[in-house]
Amino acid sequence: MAKPLPKAKVLVHWLVAASVFFLFVSSWWMLSLPLPSENFTYRQLPFQLHKNVGITVLVMVVAMIAMRIIAKRQQPQSPLTRLERLADLDHLLTYFLLIACCVSGYLSSSYSGWETTLWWLIDLPNWSAENDDLNILFSDIHLWTCWALLAIVALHIGAALYHGFRNDEVIDKMFRL
């Protein structure tokens, strides 16, 4: 049996996975809600929740990166196969896109003039006064990094299924809590 991964690492991986899919599904729906105004407040709860989950994902991704760095330091150095190098690249790209997606979303919201209260408890600072140009710029970055993230997540799932079909122990480790 393969050496088990730390429980925290497995738990955070699945929490991030569930959160990312929830963010995709809910964002596609919430953008079909009426534009916000004094009368129309349908977007208030979904957008606030979207930001809360997104910021929490950012914190979890930082924790995942820290755990990965610590684990790499503790492993004996050995030459990587081509597939292992590809897997490393996939992980790095996934972390980069998760961070880029979350940070650009927060910055876009920050420049839109809307306030962010993390889980309805902590008021997060806005970076500056409302700025439409920067709001649109970060909104576009948010959109494209999230599409790229969806593509890389699909690749990640494909690679996991590949390991499942090979019946090797890579996939078992990620399913052991």
Partner 1 sequence: MSEIQGNGLSTKWIGIVAVLFGILLLANHGNEFLKQLVVAPGSVAELGVPADCRADELEEEGLSLLECELMVSNIQITLASSPDWFRSALLALSFGGILFALLSIAVGMSFVNRTSPIGKLAGVCFAGLVAIDLLIFIAATNTGPLLRAQYLWSTLLWFFVHLSLLSAVFSVSKQPNLDSD
- Applying the rule CB under 8 A, the residues between 38 and 97 that interact with partner 1 are 38-42, 45-46, 49
CA distance 97 to 122: 25
* Separation in Å, CA 72 to CA 51, 65, 66, 175: 31, 10, 10, 20
Shortest Å, Cβ 41 to partner 1: 8
Which residues, 6 or more positions from 147, have their beta carbon under 8 angstroms from its beta carbon?
none
How many other CB atoms are there within 10 angstroms of residue 136's CB atom?
13
Contact between 162 and partner 1 per CB under 8 A: no
Coil, strand or helix: which one is 77?
coil
Contact between 31 and partner 1 per CB under 8 A: yes
Contact between 3 and partner 1 per CB under 8 A: no
Strand partners for 117: 123
Closer to partner 1 by Cβ: residue 82 or 171: 171
Q: What is the longest distance spanned by two Cα atoms in the chain?
A: 62
Q: Are strands 116-118 and 122-124 parallel, antiparallel or unpaired?
A: antiparallel
Contact between 29 and partner 1 per CB under 8 A: yes
Contact between 147 and partner 1 per CB under 8 A: no
Query: How many residues bind partner 1, per CB under 8 A?
Result: 38
Contact between 151 and partner 1 per CB under 8 A: no
Contact between 113 and partner 1 per CB under 8 A: no
Interface residue list for partner 1 (CB under 8 A): 14, 17-18, 21-22, 24-26, 29, 31-42, 45-46, 49, 132, 135-136, 139, 157, 160-161, 164, 167, 171-172, 175-177
